[in-house]
């Protein structure tokens, strides 16, 4: 079974721009969660989607948004990029039932200049 | 707020020795814990998990111990190999299910000395 895939792997943007990242979950997984990883803050939860609905959201500003498609693929968007948005963005998929393991993709490395 | 944390940022061990990585959690109602390994340039990789109704679980060369009395979690790696070099994170799955995100500790960087 193929793992979680994320595209693109690397991205360079400038302040004020917007970016869209994509995540394809493991086949059969209906839940996709997004995390931001930085050296200073570690891994922080952004949001989770299940069956095309945002089920939960972390403590990030409204510039961070996401969506999920009927095939469970998910995208996250960051608008009006700031320097502090430079990070590794990880998505993780699971079957979506309580207490199930999340499996991570390789991440998208975003650099904001 | 409640959080999951790790005791040591870096752990250096000799190849072949056993490694023990520790984690403290503060949410006594947490019912599920996971250890992840993250190698440079990669996403976190699932190693082993444990539910709160257990105090020990073994995998291949790895053992997770859960002490609910002191809210402590540890990962033991037997006969450490160079390929074990990575950052190890413990993660807490909030009570009640997977709707909330995982809460991660800061990570311990395991360094293997030849």
How confident is the model over B49-83, as pLDDT tens digits? 999 999 999 999 999 999 999 999 999 999 999 99
Q: Which residues of chain A neighbour B105 with C-beta distances below 8 Å?
A: 42
The pLDDT value recorded for residue A98 is 67
Residue B7 has pLDDT above 70, yes or no: no
- pLDDT (tens digit per residue) in A44-88: 999 999 999 998 888 899 999 999 999 999 999 999 999 999 999
Strand order in the sheet with A5-7: A5-7, A19-24, A74-78, A64-68
Give percent of chain A above pLDDT 90. 81
Q: Which residues of chain A neighbour B100 with C-beta distances below 8 Å?
A: 45, 48, 56
The pLDDT value recorded for residue A19 is 98
Measured CB to CB, residues of chain B less than 8 Å from chain A are: 31-32, 34, 36, 41-46, 49, 51, 89, 91, 93, 96-107
The pLDDT value recorded for residue A27 is 95
Give the up-direction half-sphere exposure of residue B80: CA atoms within 13 A in the CB hemisphere.
22
Cα–Cα dist A70/A83, whole Å = 33
């Amino acid at each position: 079974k193929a793992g979680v895939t994320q595209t693109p792997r690397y991205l360079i943007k400038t302040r004020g721009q917007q970016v869209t990242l994509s995540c394809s979950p493991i086949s059969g997984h209906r839940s996709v969660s997004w995390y931001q990883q930085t050296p200073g803050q570690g891994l922080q939860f952004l949001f989770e989607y299940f069956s095309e609905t945002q089920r939960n959201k972390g403590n990030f500003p409204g510039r961070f948004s996401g969506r999920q498609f009927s095939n469970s693929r998910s995208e996250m968007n960051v608008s009006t990029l700031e320097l502090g948005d430079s990070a590794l963005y990880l998505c993780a998929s699971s079957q979506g039932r309580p207490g199930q393991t999340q499996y991570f993709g390789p991440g998208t490395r975003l650099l904001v200049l | 707020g409640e959080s999951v944390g790790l005791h040591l940022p870096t752990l250096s061990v000799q190849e072949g020795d056993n490694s023990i990585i520790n984690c403290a959690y503060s949410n006594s109602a947490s019912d599920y814990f996971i250890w992840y390994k993250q190698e440079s340039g990669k996403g976190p990789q699932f190693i082993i998990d444990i539910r709160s109704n257990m105090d020990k679980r073994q995998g291949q060369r790895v053992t997770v111990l859960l002490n609910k009395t002191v809210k402590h979690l540890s990962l033991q790696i037997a006969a450490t190999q160079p390929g074990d070099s990575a950052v190890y994170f413990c993660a807490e799955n909030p009570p009640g299910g997977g709707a909330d995100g995982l809460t991660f500790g800061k990570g311990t960087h395991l360094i293997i000395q030849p």
